[in-house]
Amino acid sequence: AQSVAQPEDQVNVAEGNPLTVKCTYSVSGNPYLFWYVQYPNRGLQFLLKYITGDNLVKGSYGFEAEFNKSQTSFHLKKPSALVSDSALYFCAVSAGFQKLVFGTGTRLLVSP
């Protein structure tokens, strides 16, 4: 069965500094990996995905993620954080285009 681990409940970073939100996964076969962001009382918004190809994936709002097969990781990164990036971030994995499983989420807090 596939699973996702987000080891940090919360990440704190100062505005302008780089940020990393960690994600590791477990899946049989080739993984399809995703990052989503959630603002309070709203649905999830898609940020980026890795299906195949380049290990560095660029997405919305300046976010990027690096796929590392040997470490089974898919960490979310941004070179310079904004206060408006403060939200709840979810990593997700699927094996094929069916069952999509999410991690427990990481709260990102960017301080001015």
Partner 1 sequence: SQTIHQWPATLVQPVGSPLSLECTVEGTSNPNLYWYRQAAGRGLQLLFYSVGIGQISSEVPQNLSASRPQDRQFILSSKKLLLSDSGFYLCAWTGQGNTEAFFGQGTRLTVV
Question: Distance between CA atoms of 93 and 32, rounded to whole angstroms?
Answer: 6
Structure tokens at 24: 């590791």
Q: Mask 13-42, x = binds partner 1 (CB under 8 A)?
A: -------------------x-x-x---xxx
With binding defined as CB under 8 A, does residue 84 bind partner 1? no
With binding defined as CB under 8 A, does residue 51 bind partner 1? yes
Question: Are residues 3 and 25 in contact, defined by beta-carbon separation less than 8 angstroms?
Answer: yes
Q: Mask 88-107, x = binds partner 1 (CB under 8 A)?
A: x-x-x-x--xxxxxxxxx--
SS3 category, 78: strand
